[in-house]
């Protein structure tokens, strides 16, 4: 599967006393670059999360957000700590007995007393398996979005490859005839310019020039590189860097084609090829 470096996913999971939310998003980058925004209580899970993501991703600037949202307990879930309540009552009665002017504990004082509703702390260490399960779900969705985007980009690249093949197919048959006409004109001009020069000298000059404007090798290499682009796309996986290298090779052949052109058809073909190569390069920059 071909994957884009652009993706997004968010997953939420209800746990005791709250909910976990994990969000993943990524954009283009030459390398794999992680940025974590993790709630402080779950900071110890950053390294396992990093290892999990690195096992599935190869390129892209990836941002991972992990948060815990606590929920308030319902009234029917609250239970007073009877022992603590009795101790507070006895202490309140004792203090009031010895210091009648002291203010008695209010209901609010009692209910807000630490531990009055038992242990309300959250065991964040125990949430580790829940977080990792949530991360695997989010990563599956995240990879799927990158895969769908990658397939669209691959289809666009194939369209450009077919466009380049069509340009080569149309221009290739025209080149031998056009070059023959051009060399005939060159022979006539050389004969007129050199006057008494031998036929061998003229033929030698024409042969040298014919070699300089022969683009058969460039067209052949173009087709070879296009074959490799299609092979890499069919193979799938992380192929962005390989395809980017092939774009450089295609661009080199198109430039050479343009510089050796002796006829308008080849010059136009070289420009059209370079335009399609640039379009492919822009799409490939998004691939993993």
Per-residue model confidence as pLDDT tens digits over 140-179: 999 999 999 999 999 999 999 999 999 999 888 777 766 6
Q: Greater confidence, 144 or 1?
A: 144
Query: Contact at 8 Å (CB) between 179 and 226?
Result: no
pLDDT in tens, 274-284: 999 999 999 99
Query: Contact at 8 Å (CB) between 180 and 213?
Result: no
pLDDT at 118: 57
Per-residue pLDDT at 180 exceeds 90:
no
For residue 150, give every residue at least 6 positions away whose Cβ sits within 8 Å of its Cβ, in sequence order, or none: 1, 2, 3, 4, 287, 288
- 74 pLDDT tier (thresholds 50, 70, 90): very low
pTM for the structure as a whole? 0.71
Q: What's the rounded Cα separation, in Å, for the pair 230 and 227?
A: 5
CA distances (Å), 84 to each of 72, 105, 169, in order? 22, 14, 90
Per-residue pLDDT at 207 exceeds 50:
yes
pLDDT in tens, 13-37: 998 778 999 999 999 998 999 999 9
pLDDT in tens, 48-58: 999 999 999 99
% of the chain residues with pLDDT over 90: 52
Q: Greater confidence, 108 or 189?
A: 108
Helix (H, G, I), strand (E, B) or coil at 57: coil
pLDDT at 72: 53
Helix (H, G, I), strand (E, B) or coil at 146: helix
Average pLDDT value for the chain: 84
CA of residue 101 relative to chain centroid, distance: 72
Q: What are phi and psi of 193, to 5 degrees?
A: -75, -40
């Amino acid at each position: 599967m071909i994957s884009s470096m652009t993706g997004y996913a968010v997953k939420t999971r209800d746990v005791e006393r709250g909910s976990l939310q994990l969000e993943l998003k990524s954009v283009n980058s030459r390398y794999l670059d992680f940025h974590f925004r993790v709630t402080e209580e779950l900071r110890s899970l950053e390294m396992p999360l990093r290892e999990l993501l690195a096992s599935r991703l190869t390129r892209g600037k990836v941002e991972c957000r992990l948060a815990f949202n606590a929920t308030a307990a319902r009234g029917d879930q609250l239970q007073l700590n009877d022992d603590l309540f009795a101790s507070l009552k006895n202490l309140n009665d004792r203090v009031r007995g010895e210091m009648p002017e002291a203010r008695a504990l209010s209901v609010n004082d009692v209910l807000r007393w630490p531990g009055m509703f038992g242990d309300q702390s959250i065991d964040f260490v125990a949430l580790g398996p829940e977080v990792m399960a949530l991360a695997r779900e989010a990563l599956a969705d995240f990879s799927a979005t990158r895969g769908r985007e990658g397939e669209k980009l691959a289809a666009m690249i194939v369209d450009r490859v077919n466009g380049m093949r069509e340009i080569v197919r149309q221009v290739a048959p025209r080149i031998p005839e056009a070059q023959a006409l051009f060399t005939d004109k060159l022979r006539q001009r050389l004969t007129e310019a050199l006057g008494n020069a031998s036929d061998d000298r003229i033929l030698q000059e024409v042969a040298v020039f014919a070699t300089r404007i022969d683009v058969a090798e460039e067209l052949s290499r173009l087709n070879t590189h296009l074959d490799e682009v299609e092979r890499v796309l069919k193979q799938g996986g992380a192929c962005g860097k390989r395809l980017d290298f092939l774009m450089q090779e295609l661009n080199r052949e198109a430039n050479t084609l343009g510089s050796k052109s002796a006829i308008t058809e080849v010059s136009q073909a070289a420009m059209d090829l370079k335009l399609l190569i640039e379009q492919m390069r822009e799409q490939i920059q998004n691939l993993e």
